Amino acid sequence: MFQKGLKGVVAVQTAIAEVDGQNGRLMYRGRTVEELLPGRSYEEVAAFLWDGELPGEARLEEVDGWLKEGRKLPDHVQALLDVLPEDMEIMDAARTAISAYSHPEFRSRPIREQAALLTGALPVIVSAHYRKRSGLGKIAPDSALGQVANYLWMLTGEKPSPAKAEALGMYLKLTMEHGMNASTFAGRVTISTESDLTAAVTSALGAMKGPLHGGAPSGVIDLLEEVKASTSITEVIEGKLAAGEKIMGFGHRVYRTADPRSVLLRETCRGLEGQDDWLDLAVTAENEITRLLDVHKPGRKLYTNVEYYAAAVMRAIDMPPDLFTPTFSVARMVGWTAHAIEQIGDNTIFRPESEYVVQDPVGRPSS
C-alpha cells in the first residue's frame, strides 16, 4: 500500500531509542532521558548508545581515548579542509571531509572504534571550517577537555564557563538520537547495501543539511531577542497572536504532550539561574507564553519543543546561526553510528517497491 513519504510505515525494529509522542517520552536503550542523562557525561551517553550498557571505568577510558584520537585529523583530511573554498557551507565541508575517511586503513578498524573516531573528528572539522570562513586562525584541540568543552574551545579560542558547557552538553546529549528520522534512515539504507560506516554517515549528513530536517531554530532566537528588547512579554506575544503569527518554539509534530527534551533543557537552565541572562529569559518567557497560549488557544496544549531551549542555549553561548545545524550533527553522529552498528548486526537491504503512475500526453497522471 502506497504511503507518501513512508509515513506510518515501520521499516526497522530497533533497541536504540523509543520516541513516544502520545505520552511525551523519549527513551535511550530502555531508559528515559530524564533518568539517564543528568549527571552523566557526553562520553558516557555515547558509549551507552553504541554498546547498549553503561560503560565501566575501563570502557569509558577506551571510548574517551578514541574520541580524543579522533580529534587529531589525518593528514589527508586536514589537507582537504585547507583547500576547500572559504565560502563553502559548513555542512558541505563536513560531509566532504568525513567522506575522506573511507580508506582501507580506517575501514580495517572495529566498527565501534570507527564510530568513536568519527564522533571525535566532526566537531574539529566543523570548528576548523567555521573559523576559516570567519577569517580566524586555527585552534588545536585540548586533550585536557571533554568532548563538549573542547568543541566550544575550538570554536571560540576561550575556555568555556561551566554554565555554558553544561547547557550545551545537555543539548548535545538530548539530540544524540531520536528514532527513525530522515538522516538516520538515510544512513541505515546506505549501510544496508554492505557499504561502510563512513559512507553511511556521509549519507546522513547529506540528509541533515536539508532545511526540513536540520533547520536551525533561528525563529526562536528572533522571538527571544524581540522579547528581550521589549518591556512586556505579554504585549509581544498578544500582538503576534492577534496578527495570526505562529509562536516559534511551541508545538511539535510528534509530541502531543511536553517534549521531554525541552523539559530537561528547561531544568538545566533553571539550575543555572543567574549565570546567564539568556537562559534566565527563556525560562521567564516560557511561563508567560504558555499562560497566554492557554488563554488564546484553549485545548491546544501547545508546549515548548526542543528548539525553544536549544535556541536559548545557542544564544547564551553566542553561537551564530550557521553553526546550528552542524552542531546538531555533532550530536547526532552518535545516533547515526549506533544505528549503522545495529543495522549490520541483522542486515537486510532496504528495497521498497514503487507504484508506476501512467502519464497522459500533457503530463498529468491518468485516472
Which of 70-74, 155-159, 207-211 is predicted with the least confidence, judged by mean pLDDT? 207-211
User: 240 burial class (0-12, 13-18, 19+ CB within 10 angstroms)?
Assistant: middle
pLDDT at site 24: 82
pLDDT at site 152: 97
Same domain for 307 and 183, yes or no, is no
Pairwise pLDDT comparison (337 vs 365), residue with the higher score: 337
pTM of this prediction exceeds 0.75:
yes
Query: CATH number, domain at 48?
Result: 1.10.580.10
**How far is it, in rounded angstroms, from Cα 212 to Cα 174?**
20
Percent of the chain with pLDDT over 90: 66
Domain containing 187 equals: 13-212+323-345
Inside any domain, residue 361: no
Which residues are designated catalytic?
A: 252, 307
Pairwise pLDDT comparison (322 vs 117), residue with the higher score: 117
| 152-207 pLDDT tens trace | 999 999 999 988 899 999 999 999 999 999 999 999 999 999 999 999 999 999 99
Inside any domain, residue 87: yes
Same domain for 109 and 175, yes or no, is yes
3-state secondary structure of 226: helix
Inside any domain, residue 158: yes
Report whether 128 contacts 79 (CB < 8 A): no
Same domain for 259 and 148, yes or no, is no
Same domain for 182 and 241, yes or no, is no
Same domain for 183 and 327, yes or no, is yes
| 253-286 pLDDT tens trace | 677 777 888 889 888 888 887 888 888 888 899 9
C-alpha cell belonging to residue 245 = 503569527
pLDDT at site 215: 66
Instruction: Please give the average per-residue pLDDT across 10-34, as a whole number.
Output: 92
Q: Residue 44: name the closest of 146, 152, 136 by CA.
A: 146
| Residue burial 280-297, b: 16+ Cβ < 10 Å; e: rest | bbbbebbeebbebbeeee
Same domain for 143 and 272, yes or no, is no
Same domain for 148 and 263, yes or no, is no
Say if residue 222's pLDDT is above 90. Answer: no
pLDDT at site 191: 98
The band of 147, judged by pLDDT with boundaries at 50, 70 and 90, is very high
Number of folded domains that form the chain = 2
Same domain for 37 and 167, yes or no, is yes
Instruction: Please give the average per-residue pLDDT across 39-47, as a whole number.
Output: 97
Same domain for 229 and 119, yes or no, is no
Same domain for 156 and 290, yes or no, is no
Same domain for 142 and 183, yes or no, is yes
